[in-house]
Amino acid sequence: MNKKYLSILCLLILSASIISYVTAAGKDYLPEMKNMADQGSNLEHISGQLYKASLDNEVIGYFDRQSAIGYAGPIEVLIFIGQDGRLKDVIIVKHTETPSFFNKVVNKGFMERLHDKAANDHFELGQDLDGVAGCTYTSEAIAEAVRRASHYIAVTQLNMEVPNAAERQIPLENYLILTLLLVVFVFQKLKWNKLRNITFLAGFLLIGYWQKSLLTLGNFSSVLSGNIPWQNLPFWLVLLFGILLLILITGRNLYCFWICPYGALSELMGAFGKFGRINYQPCERSLQRFKNLRLFLAWGALVFAFIMRNPSISSYEIFAPLFAWEGAPTQWLMLPVMLFTGIFIFRFWCRFFCPVGGILDYMVKCRRSSVQWIQNILKKKQLNPNGLQQIEMKQNTHPPS
C-alpha cells in the first residue's frame, strides 16, 4: 500500500477511536449510590447530579457527583453526605490519571482521610488535608471535586455556610521550564551546540529529578481526548505546548536533543560504551527498517487506550520507574533492558521505541512539508504575473492584421 494512503488510514482509525471515546454513553451510578447508603433506601433525583436518599420515609443523606481537573484530566467523584452534615463515603467513578500514580494515592489512604469530614470543611491540602507525596495534582483534584460536591449539598440542602476557596497561583516550576525553553531557543539559534550539556543538565534536574514529569504518550492522549487541564496548568502542559511552539518556530525537535532527561542519560551511557569501545552502530538498512517503529507503537497504544476508554493507559515509557519509582510491571521489565542496551547502541530507546520522540519528529516532518508547500505556492504566484506580462508584451508587439 502507498505510504500516503497508509498514513491517511492510520489517521482515520485514530480519529474514529477518539470519537468513540468522546461520545461514549455515560454510566448509571444508581447501584453505587445504593451500596454507599443502604440497599433498602429510596433515591430521589433533585436536580443535576444531586440525589436524596431516604429510608423508611426518613431522609438519611444526599448524593452529588462533581469533577475537578487532575494531572492528566478530569477526576469525577461521587460522595454521600449524611443528614448530620458529615461525609459518609466517597468513591472515584471516573478518572484519566496514570494508573500507577492514581493507585498510589488510593493505597496511601487519601480517600479514608476524607471520611467523616464536615460538609462545609475547607478540603484544602496543607490546611485540613495532607496530600500524597509525588501525586500532588491528583490529590488536589480529588479534594477539589469533593469540596465542590460537599459545599453544594451543604448550601442547597443543609443550610450550612461554606468558606471561600483559595485562589490558585502559577507554581515556580512553570516559570522555570519556560525560561529553560527560551534558553534552548537562543542557544540553538546562535548555534551554541557545545552548551547543549548545560540544558541537558537543567532538564535532568528540573524535569526528571524535581518534577518527575517527562513528556509521555499519556500527555498527548489527554490533549487528543480534550482532557486539557487548563485550570490547573500542570507542568507537563506548559512543557508540551512550549515544545510544540518551538517546533512551529524552528522546525526542529529540540526536546529530545536539548532537554529530555532520559536523552541526557542515554547519551551519557552511550559515551561510556564508546569509551570502552563496546558500542555498536547498526547498519543503515536496519535503521531504515525500524525508522517508523516508534510512530507505529505510539499509534497502536493510542488507539488501544481510546478503545478501552482510558487514555492514561497509553503510556508505556520507562520514565516513571526510572525517575519516580512508580510504574507498571512491564515498564519495570523494560527499564533494565533499555538501560543496558543503551550502553552498546547509542540512544537505543530514543531511536527505536520512544513514542514521544516519534511523534515530535513526525510533527517536525509535517511542519517542514507545510512550509515547503507554502513556499511552492508563493513561487507559483510570483511566476504567474511575470508570465502574464510577457504574454501581454508579445501581444502588443505583434503587428495588427
Number of domains forming the structure of the chain: 2
Selection from 291, 311, 295 nearest residue 303 by Cα:
311
**CA gap 124, 102 in Å, rounded:** 19
- Which pLDDT score is estimated for 352? 94
DSSP lists the bridge partners of residue 87 as 81
pLDDT (tens digit per residue) in 82-129: 999 999 999 999 888 888 888 889 999 999 999 999 999 999 988 888
User: Is residue 2 domain-resident?
Assistant: no
Helix (H, G, I), strand (E, B) or coil at 252: coil
269 shares a domain with 124? no
Arithmetic mean of pLDDT, 343-359: 95
At residue 112's C-alpha, the angle toward residues 110 and 116, to 5°, is: 130
Residues with Cβ within 8 Å of 366's Cβ and at least 6 positions away in sequence, in order, are none
- Surface-to-core class of residue 223, CB atoms within 10 Å of its CB (0-12 exposed, 13-18 middle, 19+ buried): middle
Selection from 69, 119, 114 nearest residue 94 by Cα:
69
**CA gap 401, 392 in Å, rounded:** 17
Arithmetic mean of pLDDT, 53-67: 91
Report the chain's mean pLDDT, rounded to a whole number.
89
DSSP at 325: S
Which of 132, 156, 180 delimits the end of a domain? 156
268 shares a domain with 341? yes
User: Is residue 164 domain-resident?
Assistant: no
Q: What band does 391 get if pLDDT is binned at 50, 70 and 90? A: very low
pLDDT (tens digit per residue) in 134-170: 788 899 899 999 999 999 999 999 999 988 877 778 8
112 shares a domain with 178? no
CB 76 within 8 A of CB 67: yes
User: Is residue 302 domain-resident?
Assistant: yes
195 shares a domain with 110? no
Domain coverage including residue 124: 28-156
CB 298 within 8 A of CB 371: no
Helix (H, G, I), strand (E, B) or coil at 394: helix
Selection from 69, 57, 58, 63 nearest residue 90 by Cα:
63
Query: CA Rg, the chain, in Å?
Result: 27
CATH number at residue 106: 3.90.1010
308 shares a domain with 202? yes
**CA gap 214, 217 in Å, rounded:** 10
pLDDT (tens digit per residue) in 201-225: 999 999 999 999 999 999 999 899 8
150 shares a domain with 176? no
Selection from 294, 272, 315, 302 nearest residue 361 by Cα:
294
268 shares a domain with 177? yes
Arithmetic mean of pLDDT, 73-88: 92
